Every structure is written in C-alpha cells, then in structure tokens.
C-alpha cells in the first residue's frame, strides 16, 4: 500500500498544546509526519531555530512512540512546496482556528496550489479547548507574568519564562 507523507509546517515559537493536538490528530491519517520548523527571521522568534527543533522533538517523542507512525522534525528555510518535494510529502497539514487564520491560509493554499497542484493542503479545525491558544499570546502572557501552564507543555512553560526573564535583564 502507498505510504502517505505529510508536512506540518510552522514556526513553533514555542510549540503549544494546540500544535500538539494537530500533530496527534494528523498522525491518524498519515504514515509519516514531517514537522517542518520554519526559520522565520521576520517573526523575530524568542527561541533559536535549533532550540525550537529540540523542543518540538522532545514534546512529540511520546506521540511517535505510541502510534504506528514516523515523526520527523526538520528545520527548513525555503518555499514550503520545495520543502515538500524535497522530503517526498504529498500533503500539507495546517490547523485552523476560528476566523482569524482563514484569510491567510486561504491565500497561501491558493498560491501553493499554483506552485504544485499535486500537493494537497488539508485543514484540521482547532479543538475548541485549544482554539484560542497562539504562540504569540503565550509569549505576551508570560511577558506580563501571567500563568501559561494551560497553554503549553510544562517544560516549554519553564523555558518560556526563563527566556523572557533573560530578555528582560537585557
């Protein structure tokens, strides 16, 4: 039987419970999930690319072990469609939160489809429990000393708090 490889791309700065839910659900219908960690210097990430890759690997290690599926965490700094071709993926998985993500995703998918119509983008609706979680807001809440443990895994929360402390110290 043909194996399906998919990419779940993102900045993951940091990985949240919402991302982890999409990964867990994506694993139900693909044989190989490549989590693509984008360099994204324009977003001025809190964590370096290496740190984000390490974080995503650590937080998804259990998922890979519990499913009959392969997870690979791969950094990328190229056009998503070129990355997909390079790793042999035919599906792109994206999470969709309420209306906020729609317009951007709609445009991106349209452009990507014109670049390579053989690669299909699949959207998973965010679970209502995680609907409002965004990496950007997690960082904002932490910046103002709010509690972020409900939004990200425990170790990630500690890392975010520590990094923000460092940043504030200058």
- Per-residue tokens: 108: 């991106």
Q: What distances in angstroms separate CA 135 from CA 57, 77, 81, 115, one per listed residue?
A: 17, 20, 24, 28
Nearest distance in Å: CB 134, ligand ADP: 6
Q: Which of 5, 6, 7, 11 binds ligand ADP (CB under 6 A)?
A: 11
Q: Is position 83 an interface residue for ligand ADP (rule: CB under 6 A)?
A: no
Q: How far apart are CA 169 and CA 130, in angstroms?
A: 31
3-class secondary structure for 19-45? HHHHHHHHCCCCCEEEEEEECCHHHCC
Site map (CB under 6 A) of ligand ADP, residues 119-138, x = contact = -------x---x--xxx---
- Catalytic positions are 19, 43, 97, 135
Residues near ligand ADP (CB under 6 A): 9-12, 16, 18-19, 22, 94-95, 97, 101, 126, 130, 133-135
């Amino acid at each position: 039987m043909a194996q399906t490889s998919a990419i779940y791309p993102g900045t993951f700065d940091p990985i949240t419970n919402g991302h982890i839910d999409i990964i867990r659900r994506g694993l139900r219908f693909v044989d190989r999930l490549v989590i693509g960690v984008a360099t994204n210097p324009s977003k001025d990430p809190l964590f370096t690319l290496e740190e984000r890759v390490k974080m995503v690997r650590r937080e998804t290690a259990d998922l890979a072990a519990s499913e009959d599926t392969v997870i690979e965490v791969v950094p990328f700094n190229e056009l998503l469609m070129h990355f997909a071709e390079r790793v042999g993926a035919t599906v792109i998985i994206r999470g969709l939160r309420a209306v906020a993500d729609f317009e951007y995703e709609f445009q991106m998918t349209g452009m990507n489809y014109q670049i390579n119509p053989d690669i299909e983008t699949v959207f998973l609706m965010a679970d209502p429990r995680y609907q409002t979680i965004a990496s950007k807001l997690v960082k904002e809440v932490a910046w103002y000393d709010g509690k972020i443990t409900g939004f990200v895994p425990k170790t990630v929360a500690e890392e975010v708090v520590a990094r923000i402390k460092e940043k504030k110290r200058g």
